[in-house]
Amino acid sequence: MLSDLRRLSLFAIVLAAVSFPPAAHGQQEPPPATTVPTPEPPHRPRIALALSGGGARGLAHVGVLQWMEENHIPVDSVAGTSMGALVGAVYATGMNTTEMHDFVKTIQWDDVLLREPTYDQLSYRRKQDRSSYQVGAMLGLKHGLNGPNGLSPAHGVGLLIDRIAFPYSTISTFDDLPTPFRCVATDMLTGDAIILHDGSLAESLRATMAIPAVFTPVELNGRFLADGGLVNNIPTDVARSMGADIVIAVDIAPPLGARDKLQTLAGVLDQSLSLMTIDHDRRALQQADIVLAPDLGTHTVFDYESAEEIIRMGYDGAARKAAVLRPFALSDADWQQYVAARDARKRAPQKSASTLEVAGVTGDAAQHIERKLRKILNRDLDLKELDARLTHLVGEGRFDSLGYEGFTQNGVPALRIVAHEKTYGPPFVDLAVNVNGSGTAAFDFSAGLRVTFMDFKNHGGEWRNDLLLGSSNLAATEFYQPIGDSHFFAAPYAFASKTARNAFTGQTRIAIFGDERAGGGFDLGYNSGRRSELRFGYQIFTAKLAPLVGSAGLPRVTGSTGELRLRYVWDSQDSPAVPSSGTRVIATLSRVLQSPTLVHSLDQLDVQTSTFIPTGPKTSLFFNASGGTTFHGTAGPFQVFALGGPFRLGAYLPQEFLGNHYGYAALGFRRDLYHLPQFVGRKIYWGGWYEAGTAFNDPDSVVVRGSVNLGVIAETIVGPIALAGAVSPTGQSRVNFSIGRVF
């Protein structure tokens, strides 16, 4: 549907121009009408609705139906495309308009339209990927370097559709719905309009809503189907073919732009896309007996946050046509008869499932899904719980989407899980572009990738490989293998890295050192699944600390380090970049057995915490606290604690303060500033915070330094982009910026 991409970026507009051809000439004839019992009193015309697509603007259909219901105007059949099909299907499955309105209110559109589950719904391993590699590319190496054939596999949309269709999983034709229904999809191989009238209602709705380049197409009955708006956005012919005497078309397409719109390239392209299908739409509207075209103002296809206003505008649009609609109104008695007949065709959702079947995958993958869902069998079926479990499975990274439908197996209620594996991996590729700067005094740029092989050697095993080049360099590999079917795991790893470290005399930077390390280790641990991980292991590496820039007389340090480490991570935050709620804790206890300059072994503890507390729909307070101590002895150059830099005292340079011990705290807020277009990013935030900290060797020489910070952060598909100014009470100031991660 062309209008679904009108307000995207210029890139998406051009992409849509390629993906959305004019209406194909080989449109498939709709199937003949099926004669079924319909909920109508005798001796009146049969009324069909033709609901057009239009993204968020399509929610106006809810308002139109609400006005018609309040005025006792019956609907005997519905045909829809894209969002019109979704709204039409909700009505066709028996909901009245009050229930429809309440249903729309419960939908969290930002989450439903995400390309993958929210950060909190990801498995712990995938959270690590998103935290370290925040470029929003979805790539794999299964068939060479490639990505999905759509920006989103629409898992969230699919679950929404499954919930709607679930009571009608076993119907043989859409004429068996309380209100007979049709939807239109486009065959991407032939260009034909495909009228979907039987089979899986859920899969049919996925197909009609699969906007090319935005949602992945749907393979159904041997066809490669996408959004029906490409060839029949206002399906009046389909509505007529269902035996209708009166066809009411609801057109929610935005009007053509005025002359001033054509003064920009984007405006010309946008207008061109509208003109490509305007002739087909006009011919479709000529087949309608009544046309409703609600005035939806400047609302775009992605204005889901304005759902209430759009529904109201749809209601007002129908009210303006009251003179031509009211002649079809039923008397109170006839209306009650119509409603009773429609309600009698409603089906209750399946209450439980005794067996489980997995479609779409076999072998270990199917068995894994069965094990994860075993607990929902033989008890009351909670669809919200099922949605959550399926989303967590998708959050493990192997599947594009998971859906469900009910059926009966040997007279016993059963549940079928429909799995869609990602076509481009594994192995999967995550990208990172990290830019960090503090004015002209410090600038770092690094770029790299992570390649993850899944089910390596054994089911659940992962082989993770990192490569990062630039100001910071890293090559690392880890083999992660769960032990049996438990949460315990073993993880041998190896790495080589080189990073830059500042050296100071007082507050004057005198040199930049290169910190080079190469080694490996072995960990045993426990992974809770989503939020926490505990590791214990031994690590050994050789290291060199040598000046890169600055005084040539500075000493070099080389040698090997061996240490035992116990590390615990808890992460319940809802974003890797700018959380609104949740807590992250990273606690590391180390016993350093040997290291350059150390005479005796030493013990260290480092704890870092970050907590966000929402205080309203747009604002959250946050509190960061961290501290570390060397229990006895003196830390060597590879164990010393450091402060300085963004969120470590932003008015100072990184590593400006070193010591055996440190303490740090920050208190601030972040607030929503602007909502970015879907598939471009999420939001832009602004915030302010005060931080204080100290790094010291002797408790008698503690000096606490502070920093006041104010900045903005944007969550984009290339990762977070942050800009913040910081000033200390003593006059030091910096402008810090970053791309790819929050400083």
What is the mean predicted confidence (pLDDT) over 317-337? 96
Residue 510 has a pLDDT of 86
User: How far is CA 499 from each of CA 470, 556, 668, rounded to the nearest angstrom?
Assistant: 9, 15, 30
Proportion of the chain above pLDDT 70, given as a percent? 91
Judged by average pLDDT, the poorest of 22-31, 210-219, 392-401 is 22-31
Q: What is the pLDDT of residues 136-179, one digit of tens each?
A: 888 999 999 998 877 778 899 999 999 999 999 999 999 999 99
Secondary structure of residue 714 in the 3-state scheme: strand
Q: What is the pLDDT of residues 544-590, one digit of tens each?
A: 999 888 765 677 899 999 999 999 999 999 999 899 999 999 999 99
Give pTM, 2 decimals: 0.85
Among residues 644, 317, 364, which one has the least CA distance to residue 485? 364
Proportion of the chain above pLDDT 90, given as a percent? 70
Q: What is the pLDDT of residues 403-420, one digit of tens each?
A: 999 999 888 999 999 999
Among residues 419, 572, 430, which one has the least CA distance to residue 126? 430
Would you say 636 and 543 are in contact if contact means Cβ atoms under 8 Å apart? Answer: no
The pLDDT confidence band at residue 113, using thresholds 50, 70 and 90, is confident
What is the mean predicted confidence (pLDDT) over 272-293? 84
- Which amino acid is located at 595 in the chain? S
Q: What is the pLDDT of residues 628-651, one digit of tens each?
A: 999 988 999 999 999 998 889 999
Burial code of 147-184, b = ≥16 C-beta within 10 A, e = fewer? ebbbbbbbbbbbbbbbbbbbbbbebeebbbbbbbbbbb
Quote the tokens at residue 681: 């990013």
Among residues 690, 687, 742, which one has the least CA distance to residue 716? 742
pLDDT of 236 above 60: yes
Instruction: Tell me if the bond preceding 294 is cis, omega within 30° of 0.
Output: no
DSSP state of 392: H
What are the DSSP E strand ranges found in 653-704? 657-659, 661-675, 681-696
Among residues 642, 371, 619, 367, which one has the least CA distance to residue 487? 371
User: How far is CA 535 from each of CA 525, 528, 529, 627, rounded to the nearest angstrom?
Assistant: 4, 12, 14, 20
Dist CA 98 CA 286 (whole Å):
31
Quote the tokens at residue 659: 């010591």
What are the DSSP E strand ranges found in 410-441? 412-421, 428-438
Q: What is the pLDDT of residues 24-81, one digit of tens each?
A: 333 343 444 444 455 555 579 999 999 999 889 999 999 999 999 999 999 999 999 9
Quote the tokens at residue 146: 């490639």
The pLDDT confidence band at residue 736, using thresholds 50, 70 and 90, is very high
Mean pLDDT of the residues in the chain: 88
Q: How far apart are the first and last CA of the chain?
A: 40
Residue count (the chain): 743
3-state secondary structure 118-147: CHHHCCHHHHHHHHHCCCCCCEECECECEC
pLDDT of 359 above 60: yes
Residue 437 has a pLDDT of 85
Q: What is the pLDDT of residues 701-725, one digit of tens each?
A: 899 999 999 999 999 988 899 999 9
Would you say 558 and 543 are in contact if contact means Cβ atoms under 8 Å apart? Answer: yes
Among residues 622, 709, 607, 612, which one has the least CA distance to residue 664? 607
Dist CA 326 CA 316 (whole Å):
15
DSSP state of 312: H
Secondary structure of residue 6 in the 3-state scheme: coil
Number of neighbouring beta carbons within 10 Å of residue 706: 14
The pLDDT confidence band at residue 4, using thresholds 50, 70 and 90, is very low
What is the mean predicted confidence (pLDDT) over 492-520? 91
Among residues 108, 81, 78, which one has the least CA distance to residue 93? 78
Quote the tokens at residue 743: 């400083």
